[in-house]
Amino acid sequence: MNRIKLNIFALGILFPFLLFGADIEGNTSIKLDAYGGPGSILLIWDLPENEIISSIRIFRSNDMMSTYEIIDLDGIITDRYLDNDLFTHDLLFYRLEMETIDSRILSSAYHTPAFARSMDTQHLDKIIAELEQSYPVTFSARSEITDIHEFESVLIYDFILNHIPSEISQMNALQMYLLMEEINFDSFLNILSVEDFKACTFLFADNDPSVLHDYIENAFNELEPLFRQQVLFAPAEWHDEKLDLIDILNRKFSSAIEIYRDDSAFLESLPPVLITNLVKDSSGLKISINRFRVNESSIELHMNEESISVPFEYNDSQMISIPSHWEYVELLIAGDVVQSLPEEGVLSIALDDQYIFSDEIFDMQTMRSIPEKDFQLNEIAYNAIEQKLSVEIAGNSDWSIQLGLFINDSLLWVWNSVPGFEMSFLDSNWVLMTSKENGWLHLCQVNENDAWKILESRPLHLQESFHESKVPDLGTWTALSFSTFGESNDITRSQQNKQFIPEIFALYQNYPNP
């Protein structure tokens, strides 16, 4: 903020009268408080009710009576201000003046101004060195944090990183972060793969609330010298926010634990092995099979008299290639059929958020879940109120390719890709004028016969807003609450960490303002 500082020289005890005028009966007194911090003093005041304020000025002095500076807030109407970059340890005295829209002056106390002393900043380097390893995301985002919600967002993400088992990937850590941010769904299995669901066990099945409580308590205490002034919080507000955060997370975790328990019971009710995905690539059709619990019985895929044995030695999932002449497939456990595909006329979502397609087992030309080409749908958002659809395409190719985007059979967009070695991100948006409740979004490429060939499809539910991205880029579809249109979604790349951190701030908007 640009500050206009004017040195005003007054004469001793006459200063209050010269600067403000004598006390006028009926003038409203503004309560002004000052709080010292490292190299700064935080000022907080009350905005009067039923008044329209046109300007605010702050007056600062180091001896209260002789020399004052005016800090002009440049027309910003707020209830707090951080006077930072202070290189003095002297007491500083502050007065406040507000002007109403009808030119009346409202002031803080003239003769008993608020005062505070800034703290020495030399010890901050030691604090940073001691805490940086415990709160890596928080410290890497330190310069970006401007309010309490941003601070709490990165703090929760650090909790995930500090407490997840080492074998859990950063992708799973992101999923858990999103779950902790807002528990507002009926099932984890609607948004997580089975592997990701199992990875959440340590959070939601074996959860000890005291671990999270102690973490928040210690983090707020340890990081207060670095962040309380920065997010413009008084000590009492900081303490109350800590208690509110613990209470909110406790309620969210209680809800999450119940959801996780119900999902676990559902998985226990399933056969020990199920087909969860169909994938078609250049080598043919493959079926993904998940094992939900250990089973010693024989497992086979079967069509007529042909069968394929499915071994499970170490992994909980297998990808099995299916002969090209198979028209259907049955999953057998100990000789009993537990699942058959396809189900005629049915399009069903699989447990890992991909799609099982119907009618014919090899009929995957119009609704492909796993793309095989250089370009893919990478991010999709729909605002049901504005009927606005936003789409991002990601990929790269050594030569120019003509691509098109369709909704059902209607062409939305056509363009030629730019050759290059680096992955490119291209996005655009449209307002849809349609009465249809559902549709399919198709990414297409012109083939050698100048016909459109579908590379990838994604269902559009046009009655409600949604936002989904592939995280990392070209990876698995994930429901998100923040946008990365035009740039990478891959938070596992170190060079993207700084870019990701500010984006996650937008997720944490369900906490009440102080």
Amino acid 490: pLDDT: 60
Provide CATH code, domain 7-117.
2.60.40.10
134-155: pLDDT as tens digits: 898 899 888 889 889 889 888 8
Q: Is the preceding omega at residue 342 within 30 degrees of 0, hence cis?
A: yes
Give yes or no for a contact between 73 and 53, defined as CB atoms under 8 angstroms apart.
no
> Which run of H or of E encompasses 240?
helix 235-269
Better-predicted residue by pLDDT, 317 or 168: 317
Strands 388-395 and 410-416, by their bridges, are unpaired
Residue 4: strand pairing partners: none
Amino acid 46: pLDDT: 92
Give yes or no for a contact between 436 and 410, defined as CB atoms under 8 angstroms apart.
no
One-letter amino acid at 35 equals: Y
Determine how many CB atoms are found less than 10 A away from the CB of residue 20: 17
Buried b / exposed e across 474-490, counting CB within 10 Å, b at 16+? Answer: bebbbebeebbbebbbb
Average pLDDT of the chain?
A: 75
Determine how many CB atoms are found less than 10 A away from the CB of residue 334: 11
Give yes or no for a contact between 99 and 48, defined as CB atoms under 8 angstroms apart.
no
One-letter amino acid at 499 equals: Q
Amino acid 45: pLDDT: 96
Which 8-state DSSP code applies to residue 196?
H
The full set of domain ranges for the chain reads: 7-117, 124-269, 273-356, 375-473
Q: Which residue, among 386, 378, 380, has the nearest Cα to 467 in the 3D structure?
A: 380
Examine domains 7-117 and 375-473 and report if their fold is the same: no
DSSP for 297-310, please give it. S-EEEEETTEEEE-
Q: Is the preceding omega at residue 271 within 30 degrees of 0, hence cis?
A: no
Encoding tokens for residue 103?
Answer: 């030119």
Give yes or no for a contact between 424 and 417, defined as CB atoms under 8 angstroms apart.
yes
State mean pLDDT over 183-203: 68
Amino acid 343: pLDDT: 58
Give the separation between CA 395 and CA 27, rounded to whole angstroms.
66
Is the pTM above the cut of 0.75?
no
State mean pLDDT over 105-122: 88
> Which run of H or of E encompasses 427?
strand 424-431
Give the separation between CA 261 and CA 256, rounded to whole angstroms.
8
Provide CATH code, domain 375-473.
2.20.130
61-82: pLDDT as tens digits: 988 776 788 988 888 899 999 9
Amino acid 22: pLDDT: 36
Amino acid 81: pLDDT: 96
Does residue 169 have a pLDDT over 80?
no
State mean pLDDT over 261-271: 82
State mean pLDDT over 488-498: 46
Give yes or no for a contact between 427 and 391, defined as CB atoms under 8 angstroms apart.
yes
State mean pLDDT over 104-132: 87
17-50: pLDDT as tens digits: 333 333 333 355 899 999 999 999 999 999 998 8
State mean pLDDT over 276-288: 66
> Which run of H or of E encompasses 203?
helix 201-204
> Which run of H or of E encompasses 440?
strand 438-446
Amino acid 497: pLDDT: 33
320-334: pLDDT as tens digits: 888 877 777 888 888
Give the separation between CA 290 and CA 297, rounded to whole angstroms.
15
Encoding tokens for residue 52?
Answer: 């329209």
Encoding tokens for residue 116?
Answer: 């505070």
User: pLDDT band for position 507 (50/70/90)?
Assistant: very low
Give the separation between CA 385 and CA 391, rounded to whole angstroms.
17
